[in-house]
Structure 1
Amino acid sequence: MAPSSMPGSIADAARSALEIGTGTARAAIALTRSGVVRPIRPERLYGMGKALVRYGHSATAAFCVGAARHPYRLAVVDDDGVETYAELDARTDRIAAALLASGAAPGGTVGILCRNHRAPIEVMVAAGKAGADVVLLNTGLSAEQMRGVADQQKLHTIVTDADFLDIVPDGPQVVRTDGDGPGTLNALAESGGPAELPFKPERSKMIVLTSGTTGTPKGAKRPHPSSLAPAASILSAIPLKAGEPVLIAAPLFHTWGNAALLLASLHGSTVVLQRKFEPRAFLDVVERRRATTIFAVPVMLQRVLEHVGESGGWAGPHRPRIVAVSGSALPAAQALSFMDRFGDCLYNLYGSTEVSWVSIAGPADLRDAPGTAGRAPAGTTLIILGEDDQPVGPGVEGRVFVGNDLPFDGYTGGESELEVRDGLLGTGDVGHLDDEGRLHLTGRADDMIVSGGENVHPGPVEDLIANAEGVREVAVLGVDDEQFGQRLAAYVVRAEGSTLDEDAVRELVRADLAKFAIPRDVHFLDELPRNQTGKVLRKELPGQ
């Protein structure tokens, strides 16, 4: 009997089994195709196996495997030079020993407050060798927020760039990443070696801060994968290749940048880093280092497009195969403009700190359905639930729920804010699936407003304005209204030379959407306030 003709519950179970089997096969194919699974010289197997036994499926294990498998390959290239896998392995042994001697491990917590360069990678790997937990600290935190995080996460040590010393609180041991004197990472490394490290240290936890804009950000515990299934899921949709140089422009302290580091180290790649993002330098390093894969956030692509203009593209003949973005919404017009200038290499991953990934849109999806968040990759369950908590069909809007191999382990403070239905986590977003299984997002469930008795989502209004000529970027959200309860407000950044005015913005919406969706407030700004991953800081907008 075919699954489609079975009774409901049995048919559903059969379909699930078929989907899981198909996903597993796709995952295995993806790992082999990317080069993660390939023949290995026998004399190198011992060191690789030992690393996996000691550190599990973690970044620490991946870099140790790299040291055994290709010790003289460049592990990191940054603004200060280069470091091989063997050099990184030896240096992180010494840093791990120093963390143990200082009391930061085992069982302690190390905060990393750094831009993108080799030091945060060294500290992450060393913490795994010593059994210390790691908190990835957002470089945009205020001094008050840093004090709250240090207390909340019980930070023993903070490793920081000199740029951020003014927000580092009293109490934790402070280690600077620059220089060679006392209190620096170099001095810490010199003091730690050589020493005996624990064979199987306590499992180091990775804690990523949520992107709250007010108060103390919550810490989300990121689990170490128990297998290669999570990586295989991403690889089923984004075709990375082993050994190819990877430029990580996304901040390493963010979930997306951290995921990029895990994928790159798994592939034995050379990780290319720059402390600060600047479009010209970005294009130059892609060409100079022959980066074939780039991990970025959407606002970076916008800045690159503005830099190169209408006829620009890559800095030289080299062409990356993959430009993968996540961390904030990718506007449809921006996706198409980028591919028109830089080729069909763009991939957009939709996810969050809590749920990891949900869906991935490849170049074909972004061409065929601009604005889509893509499809669920291998091993991922994606459903849309209606108000009755039942799945809805294509084209019907509802709340987005997902299940995959790497959900987070909860918040460090024990808070529980996510919806859970039958083991699936709610993303907090509203959207629908099209007939091809592609996800289209309307916006955050809690962004919906009620204006004069009508439910209004800001998302479609924002998308409509964003795609208009003369608009560089826009944010639309609800504000209080004495007469109607709430109303929409639009915050618009005009493109250079644009003469767009308030009435023109309203006419754009009036021509396509219902009257109650027209923003009564239209503010023109020089730029939208954003955090390091490109999310708009809504509390900093006028009138909020």
Structure 2
Amino acid sequence: MPTSLTTISDTIRATGVMVRAGLVPFPRVDHGLKSLNAVNKYGPFAGPVSAHAQSGYDAVAIIDDRGPLTYADLESTSNALVRSWQSVGITSETVMGAMCRNHRGLVLTMLAAAKNGTKLVLMNTGFAAPQLIDVAARENVAAFVYDDEFADIATSLPSHTIMYRSWPEADIEAPTAAVTLDEAVIGHGTSTVSAPAKNGSFVLLTSGTTGTPKGAPRGHMSPLASAQFLDRVPLRRNQIMMMAAPAFHGTGVSQFALALALGQTVVMHRKFDPEKTVEALARFRCDSLVLVPTMLNRIIGLGPDVLSTYDTSNLKIIFSAGSSLSPDLCKRVTATFGDVLYNLYGSTEVAVATVATPQDLATAPGTAGRPPVTCHVELFDDTDKRITTPDTIGRIFATNGLSFEGYTDGRDKERIGGLLSTGDVGHFDSHGLLFVDGRDDDMIVSGGENVYPLEVENLLADMDDVADVAVIGVVDTEFGHRLRAFVVLVPGAVQNPDALCGHVRSNLARYKVPRDVIFIDQLPRNATGKLLRRKLTEI
């Protein structure tokens, strides 16, 4: 647990990071005070937008599939949306839900909810009706914003739920009488709205890879939290960000909020397409790209013949988060785009734990990096004793100003000395770099030996014929458990399980060699790219 001296040191270092990045507009202290006042008034997501608009900063804030919107546009339209909601009884006591892809409707909903003091539950766009019903009932959702694409799912909610359509589509017949957000704001004033009695908040949902997603609320945050990203990632004022990651999840929300605070322009498409994303990087001269590893893998999979046709030389940052990066993917990204890859490790509950810079990844491809300013990471063994020796695997615990305070259903993650469990196991090397060895509950015991499937996955991913791979443990009557590999081959590759197992046998201990290799066309993943391991057990 950080001491009071550590906290003071963190504060000084974090302030310095924010000044260097331009988040604190020194020496224009007057602008800084206006920004702080706006954040105090509306919270860290809507506050910066309001401050930019009030100060006359009328740059383009977002570019989506419908075109550009300035900071002034976002400010005035979200103000009208607040008044529209208030006119039908949506207050700071109302819980709203949103099931939207990346576009202005989601952004305006997030801004208006913050200004209205409303709790907003950000639903996963991969939900089926039963999951939506369960989460909405648990979180007491009374109003719901959705894309027409999800209209059939939205109708599964109770009939008294107040509905809004965020992305209307002419070829989809709306099964409800819900108005669009564009229709809702008509006739309502666009001037500044009063500060809510309490700040609005987001409820982020866990990936739900092992069951119904849990709600992880994001309310009050440390004003120094932004420094956790800016310390190791060179995001700066007035840059252009390509937001490929889903904006409803932790990675997207955090980077979107930071981009707005820095006065950046955020480019986004409703649905991810690898070549369309690269084309946008070139067309808008984007400085940064935010995505999850599966998206990055698909971009690299376009191949040099396609990628070389686009000028992405202005790209300074590829920010990847959400799941582990294999060493092979790190190498291929660097070979394609140069030293621009940054790998964030954290979780929905913990938020930021470590960040790996291009230099870290060049030294140790696949590393999760080091804790940035205000973040602290420690390892503990099964007896809760702290591990201090390098290359010793332990349970990963972290703390920072962004960690959640418990799930919305009253449950919590394990805590030791003020640090929160990430649910993963890992080790530090002799240089202080963190490596994630797998999920704590993924470890199997095979023939009396502890085995973490991720190590085998990374090794198989390094093979030229392998496009994607997952390794899980299954019950074995002789050895207790054994490894089973699910492999997606590159087009044209020949199925050769002996070659795959032989590669593992040549590099790892024999008890880590998969006893089964199953070739499939595609691994099951959710909308944020998380592997759904439970579905693999059904194959």
Q: TM (normalized to structure 1)?
A: 0.92
3-state SS of paired residue (2:263): coil
Q: Please report how far the alpha carbon of residue 448 of structure 1 lies from its aligned counterpart in structure 2 after TM superposition.
A: 0.7
From 134, 142, 159, give the equivalent of 2:128. 142
Q: Equivalents in 2 of 1:431, 1:446: separation in Å?
A: 13
For residues 237-252 of structure 1, the aligned pairs below 5 Å read 237-252=232-247
The residue identity in structure 1 corresponding to 2:392 is: V
The equivalent residue for 2:173 is none
Q: Contact 1:279/1:304 (CA < 8 Å) preserved in 2?
A: yes
Rounded to whole Å, the distance in 2 between the matches of 1:195 and 1:240 is 31
Structure 1 position 175 matched with structure 2 position 164: yes
Task: Decide whether aligned partners of structure 1 residues 42 and 456 sit closer, same or farther in structure 2, where only a CA change above 3 A counts.
Answer: closer
Q: Is 1:463 matched with 2:458?
A: yes
Q: What amino acid is aligned across from residue 22 of structure 2 in structure 1?
A: G
Matched, 1:205 2:170: no
Task: Please report how far the alpha carbon of residue 42 of structure 1 lies from its aligned counterpart in structure 2 after TM superposition.
Answer: 8.3
**Structure 1: distance between partners of 2:455 and 2:507:** 10
Matching of residue 93 in structure 1 with residue 79 in structure 2 = yes
- Name the SS of the counterpart of 1:497 in structure 2: coil
Secondary structure at the residue paired with 1:139? coil
Secondary structure of 1:134 counterpart: strand
Alignment deviations for residues 458-496 of structure 1 (CA, whole Å, 9 cap, x no partner):
121111111123111110011122232221100011122
Give the equivalent residue in structure 2 for 1:518: 513
| TM superposition shift of 1:179 | 4.7
Aligned AA for 1:178?
W
Residue 400 (structure 2) pairs with residue 404 (structure 1):
yes
1:59 matched to 2:48? The reply is no
How many Å separate the matches in 2 of 1:45 and 1:263? Answer: 15
Q: Are the counterparts in 2 of residues 161 and 176 from structure 1 also a CA contact under 8 Å?
A: yes
Q: Determine the C-alpha separation between the residues in 2 that align with 1:67 and 1:399.
A: 45
CA distance in structure 1 between the partners assigned to 2:193 and 2:527 by the alignment: 36
After superposing the two structures, state which structure 1 stretch, 217-226 or 374-383, moved more: 217-226
Which deviates more, 445-454 or 173-182? 173-182
Letter in 2 for 1:216: T
Change (3 A) 1:454 1:310: farther
Residue number in structure 2 paired with 1:120: 106
* Structure 1 position 82 matched with structure 2 position 68: yes
Pair 1:193-2:165 in alignment:
no
The residue number in structure 2 matching 1:507 is 502
CA distance in 2, matches of 1:528, 1:311: 24
The one-letter code matched in structure 2 to 1:473 is: D
Whole-angstrom distance in 2 between the partners of 1:49 and 1:430:
38
Question: Quick one: structure 1 residues 400 and 53, their matched pair in 2 at CA, closer, same or farther if it must change by over 3 Å?
Answer: closer
Q: Which moved more, 1:208-217 or 1:157-166?
A: 208-217
CA distance in structure 2 between the partners assigned to 1:44 and 1:25 by the alignment: 20
Structure 1 residues 253-402: aligned runs within 5 Å:
253-309=248-304, 312-313=307-308, 315-316=310-311, 318-392=313-387, 393-402=389-398
CA shift in 2, pair 1:121/1:167, >3 Å: same
Aligned partner of residue 344 in structure 2, secondary structure: strand
* Residues 421-465 of structure 1 deviation map (CA, whole Å, 9 limit, x = unaligned): 100011111111011110011101110112232222112111111
- Aligned residue number for residue 92 of structure 2: 106
> Partners in 1 of 2:349 and 2:202 — Cα distance?
13
User: Is contact 1:48–1:69 with CA below 8 Å preserved after alignment?
Assistant: no
Instruction: From the superposition, tell whether residues 18 and 434 of structure 1 become closer, same or farther in structure 2 (CA, over 3 Å).
Output: farther
CA distance 1:375–1:32, shift in 2 (3 Å): same
CA RMSD of aligned residues (A): 2.2
1:428 aligns with 2:433: no
**Amino acid across the alignment from 2:493:** S
Q: Say how many residue pairs are matched.
A: 528
- Is the 8 Å Cα contact of residues 250 and 256 (structure 1) preserved in structure 2? yes
Give 1:60 deviation, angstroms: 1.0
Name the counterpart of 2:219: 223
Secondary structure class of the residue paired with 1:112: strand
2:242 maps to a residue whose letter is L
More displaced stretch, 117-126 vs 462-471: 462-471
Distance 1:316 1:428 in 2: 40
Unpaired stretches in structure 2, ≥5 consecutive residues: 170-176
| Structure 1 residue 82: Cα displacement | 1.0
Superposition deviation, residue 21 in structure 1:
4.9
